[in-house]
Amino acid sequence: MRKSLIISIIIVIALFIASFYFYTVLPNTIITHWNAAGQPNGYMPKLLGNFLIPITTALLLLLLVFLPKLDPLKKNYKKFITYYDSFNLIFTLFMSFIYIISTLWNLGIQIPINSTILPAVGFLFIYIGIILRYVKQNWFIGIKTPWTLSNKKVWDKTHQLGSTLFIISGIIVIGGVLFPPQYLILFILVPILLSAIFLFIYSYILYKKTIH
């Protein structure tokens, strides 16, 4: 088993251990969601809310582990397996960070949500941007349009540009901490949506130029 995968599994196990440990001291109803201003606006019963992130993380990690085995282009994963595994680890760490912030809040330690979560999301986007440069054609991971999946050259060039756009988007997201909370959603959604739309159009135009 690969080293980064082992570390990811250990982290997930640690999340479950922490959930069992904190279960007796958490309130019966716990906070599970915050609004753009960083104020709680979503709650769950303790049993569900306390184990929600560990269970979700475990299921998503399991899915990520088995996706390459289901992909018709699974041979291509060998070309970027190190980066794929590192993404799985970074994602697991990101979910663990969310769990820590959530648990601290429910224990009465109210860490500023926006100034902690926003940079984490930004760094996640930046890391996704970095690994996009190395992702080869497959059906599950990357910028998948009919044209990137149909042409290797289009895939590679679209992902080179996508890498830059995701890194820029991540920087913009991090910069969102400097602005009022009501603009939070704009700093997260707008850069990614604009990047996705642009890359969709770009891959189409590039495909047309490539086949002619």
Residues 3 and 98 in one domain: yes
Beta-carbon neighbour count of residue 197 at 10 Å? 10
Residues 22 and 91 in one domain: yes
Residues 156 and 131 in one domain: yes
pLDDT of residue 57: 96
Residues 78 and 158 in one domain: no
Strand (E) or helix (H) holding 31: strand 29-34
C-alpha 165/C-alpha 12 separation (Å) is: 31
Residues 44 and 131 in one domain: no
Residues 179 and 211 in one domain: yes
Q: What is the domain count for the chain? A: 2
pLDDT of residue 115: 83
Residues 142 and 100 in one domain: no
Residues 22 and 103 in one domain: yes
Residues 174 and 127 in one domain: yes
Beta-carbon neighbour count of residue 113 at 10 Å? 20
C-alpha 90/C-alpha 22 separation (Å) is: 24
Q: Which of 111, 135, 170 is the last residue of a domain?
A: 111
Residues 206 and 138 in one domain: yes
Q: Which of 111, 142, 164 is the last residue of a domain?
A: 111
Residues 28 and 69 in one domain: yes
* Cβ(166)–Cβ(129) below 8 Å: yes
Q: Which domain holds residue 26?
A: 1-111
Q: What is the pLDDT along the chain (212 residues), one digit of tens a residue?
A: 688 889 999 999 999 999 999 999 999 999 988 887 778 888 999 999 999 999 999 999 999 999 999 999 999 999 999 999 999 999 999 999 999 999 999 999 988 888 888 899 999 999 999 999 999 999 999 999 999 999 999 999 999 999 999 999 999 999 988 888 777 778 888 999 999 999 999 999 999 998 77
pLDDT of residue 105: 93
Q: Is 33 left (phi over 0), alpha (psi -120 to 50) or beta?
A: beta
pLDDT of residue 180: 80
Q: Which of 111, 126, 148 is the last residue of a domain?
A: 111
**DSSP line for the chain:** --HHHHHHHHHHHHHHHHHHHHHTTS-SEEEEEE-TTS-EEEEEEHHHHHHHHHHHHHHHHHHHHHHHHH-TTGGGGGGTHHHHHHHHHHHHHHHHHHHHHHHHHHTT----HHHHHHHHHHHHHHHHHHHHTTPPS-SSSS---TTTTT-HHHHHHHHHHHHHHHHHHHHHHHHGGGS-GGGHHHHHHHHHHHHHHHHHHHHHHHHHHHH-
- What would the pLDDT profile of 60-111 be if each residue is shown by its tens digit? 999 999 999 999 999 999 999 999 999 999 999 999 999 999 999 999 998 8
Q: What is the pTM of this model?
A: 0.90
Residues 100 and 124 in one domain: no
pLDDT of residue 36: 73
